[in-house]
A and B are shown apart, each in its own frame.
Chain A
Amino acid sequence: MLFVNIAVRNLRRHWIRSMLSIIGIVIGVFAIASLGIMGNSINLLVANVITDVGDTLVITPHVAVSTDIAGDPRSIVEASLSPETVSRIERVSGGNEVIPVLQGTAELTLGDEGGDVRVIGMHVDDIPILLTIAEGQMLRQNRPGVLVGSFLANEFDIRAGSRIELDGEGVRVAGVLEERGFAADINPDFGIVVSDGYYGDRFGDSDAYAMVIIKVRDIGQIDAVKEAVDDQLNRREDTVDIFDSRDMLAMYEDFYDQITVFLLAIGGVSLIIAAINILNVMYISVTERTHEIGILRSIGTLRSEILRTFIYEAAVLGIAGSFVGGLFSAVGGYAISVYAIQAFTAGTTFGENITVFDATSVAYVVFAVSFGVGISILSGFYPAWIASKLTPIEALRHD
């Protein structure tokens, strides 16, 4: 404890340089924590937009050329798969759920409002496999009714039990779906989900499927199923494209990791400069106090005690700076995140009702504080080591 007191006394004596060193660390910790929080916010934003479907194969008619991005508007085609193709897929699906999906459009009217909406038709038994309802009931066989996507319901204030008009004919809303986000398979948030029978009666050909979804029960099987479908349908020439939803997740995770590493790294730069500053100040201290070190050594202070005194000095600077920086970053990180999300999603609805703060954000603050303390102590090592290596006689002679 004595050496901690000596360290604190020394720092106080040169309070200006101590303060300036602390300011460096404060800014460094602030930068690293805020940028970590920002990376996390971007992650939360994207996670909010993309649905986590990791066990799905989506089979669509073969497109001549496309990008790897699911749903690139430049390569959207409205082609279809025949019932024969669906049964061939069923044959090789290995007992996994095979869900053929019909897709069309309808004009929605609600009083004097409305517009075109996406209509998705599926067998009533398949709907609960893919979708969950926020209110009301699922569709049942031979019962009229439709399910409404969350954004659509929100926009027009549609509730379970409401009546809407589709292509000029009234129908009852059985339920409202939960928000799903952008997904590789179906996107009902802005649309309407109906039974395949109802779809065939009203909206179009119930024999022309836009896609077939295979829900793979055991994730280990996914590659085998993929290969079997490919073998069955793409042998002679490519007729279908098979999209593995894990690819989309992997791509997104990869992207997120890169952003986070990048942001933490540029935050780290400031902290490294701050640490070099501590190194510099400590080094100057040792030079100035060579005489004092000589006296201490000659009255019997051990090398290790000298070493400790200087490391304590660096540690006190680091701890003070890191904690203040940590406190600031809790506030600043939030502000930066809000600003960044606003900037990135300008003009769209994507950034709405999103929380930018969660446990991970707190973890980034903790990480930044410990990083700040750690690197400060580390930068104190070299000067402290030099101080402890001084020979007492030489040191006493120094002026």
Chain B
Amino acid sequence: MTRRKKNEGGGRIGIMVSLAARNVKRHWVRSILASIGIIIGVIAIASLGMLGNSIGLLFTGFWADVGDALLITPHVAVSSGDPGDPRNILPTTLSERDIIEIEKAAGLGNRVIPMVRSTGELRFGNRVGYAMLIAVPGDDIPYLLDTEAGGYPRGAHPQIMIGTFLAEEYGIKAGNRVELDGTRARVAGIVAERGWGVDINPDYAVIVTQEWYERQYGTGAFNQVVIKVSDVEDIPAIKRSIDARLNRRKETVDILDSQEILEIFEQTMGAIQVLLLGIGAVSLFVASVSILNVMIISVTERTQEIGVLRSIGTHRNDVLLLFLIEAAVLGVVGSIIGGLLSSVVGWLISVQVATAFDELFGISAAFSILDLSILGYILFGMGFGIVASIVAGLYPAWKAARLDPIEALRYE
């Protein structure tokens, strides 16, 4: 008995779907136009989602993911607040006393790495030019940098490391001999690409050991100190401790927290994403208004037909369902076509943006378009399209279901 009822139910839905499909086909021009709206809307929302995703990936590639570092530099009188603003990077130094205080504040278990930022003239073959020179105590280098080729320089030996873009430009390989400010040195290794980092930016630089630097240049005043914390939770406490030790009477150091910067970055990315999806949703909203419109017109036109259906015993709910299915058919067809097209459009937009970024910021876009999240955006767009269409069909369907059979039959 139950089984039969269920079958009847299935058959009823089947009949309704074919009825709805027939109605959609009968007025094919308006159906196609309404679906085009949904198609464009789904493309807009999915492509903009993908675009936001690509922008995020581009920036992530540009940023070294350092979430566990504090950067301590001599206090700058006034700064713009942007950690990468070149106008606020000054070649000033920290005193020995400052470094000792910082070490005390950092506590045990957190690595304190003082660094020298300077400039050296690099000569290799017939190429010569100035490069950023970063001196780091030999033991600390492996904690900061990964190698792309070769190994790390040790102690006071005349060994250096070269940043990936510098090595690429000059064609330097691990094991080569170069001249740095007139002194011959062996390239121990090439530093792997790192992107923009809070702590150290080796991509265009020469890295030497602090020991060798001191022997070579006689001085070793540090420009900055990086603290690598073993537990990210400790960052606020260390910050407070440094502030208390060094900035009590007078501000002597600025403290930059990589965690904070990552958060700001994520916030910015999130805002861009919301903005783009919001803009995409607006088009889809307009498209659903279009469906609402077409469905209302349909209900008005077919008032008499509804009257006939009701008088031969069709239930209110069935009339409601019939119109909802019609709206859903428009939405499903539009969304599927839109989803298919958006994989193409989204890819084109992302490539366009990657090219623009490359031209502008010199970031090589190494992201893959076959990211799973892209499929996610397409499915999201399609889902949004279908739901918006069904929601748009609700009011007309409800209106149709509420019609009084007698009145409806009399309607012209």
Contacts and interface: CB of A to CB of B under 8 A. Distances in A.
B40 A272 contact: yes
B130 A79 contact: yes
B283 A270 contact: yes
Contacts of A35: 279
A19 to B, nearest CB: 9
Nearest to A107: B92
B30 A280 contact: yes
Interface residues of B, number: 79
**Interface majority SS (helix, strand, loop, mixed), chain B:** helix
Contacts of A17: 293, 296-297
A397 interface: no
B290 A276 contact: yes
B216 interface: no
Contact of A21 (B40, B132, B293, B360): B293
Contacts of A267: 279
A61 B130 contact: yes
B232 to A, nearest CB: 19
B323 interface: no
B149 interface: no
Contacts of B34: 280
B201 A73 contact: yes
B144 interface: no
A334 interface: no
A169 interface: no
A65 B169 contact: yes
A277 B204 contact: no
A276 B80 contact: no
Contact of B250 (A62, A112, A190, A277): A112
A84 interface: no
A258 B281 CA distance: 22
A258 B355 CA distance: 12
A347 interface: yes
B237 interface: no
Interface in B316-350: none
Interface stretch (B1-9, B10-18, B263-271, B304-312): B263-271
A65 B360 contact: no
B297 A76 contact: no
Given A78-B118, A118-B87, A277-B293, A65 B78 contact: no
Interface in B257-281: 261, 264, 267-268, 271-272, 275, 279-280
**Interface majority SS (helix, strand, loop, mixed), chain A:** helix
Contact of B356 (A21, A71, A255, A343): A255
Contacts of B293: 17, 20-21, 277, 280-281
Given A65-B204, A269-B283, A116 B122 contact: no
A251 B360 contact: yes
B406 interface: no
A323 interface: no
Contact of A280 (B169, B249, B282, B290): B290
Interface string A247-259: 0000100110010
A393 interface: no
B260 to A, nearest CB: 8
A107 B90 CA distance: 11
Nearest to A23: B289
Interface stretch (B69-77, B100-108, B152-160, B370-378): B69-77
Nearest to B202: A74
B131 A344 contact: no
A279 B33 contact: yes
A395 B359 CA distance: 60
A346 interface: yes
Given A21-B293, A64-B129, A269-B283, 20 more contacts: A31-B279, A63-B129, A64-B122, A64-B127, A64-B170, A66-B204, A69-B360, A77-B131, A108-B77, A116-B75, A152-B77, A155-B77, A156-B78, A190-B88, A251-B360, A266-B48, A283-B29, A343-B275, A347-B261, A350-B81
11 contacts: A62-B128, A64-B170, A69-B362, A75-B132, A116-B75, A116-B77, A254-B359, A273-B287, A277-B286, A280-B33, A284-B30
Interface of A: 16-17, 20-21, 23-24, 27-28, 31, 35, 61-69, 71-79, 105, 107-108, 112-118, 151-152, 154-156, 182, 187, 189-191, 237-238, 251, 254-255, 258, 266-267, 269-270, 272-274, 276-277, 279-281, 283-284, 288, 339-340, 343-344, 346-350
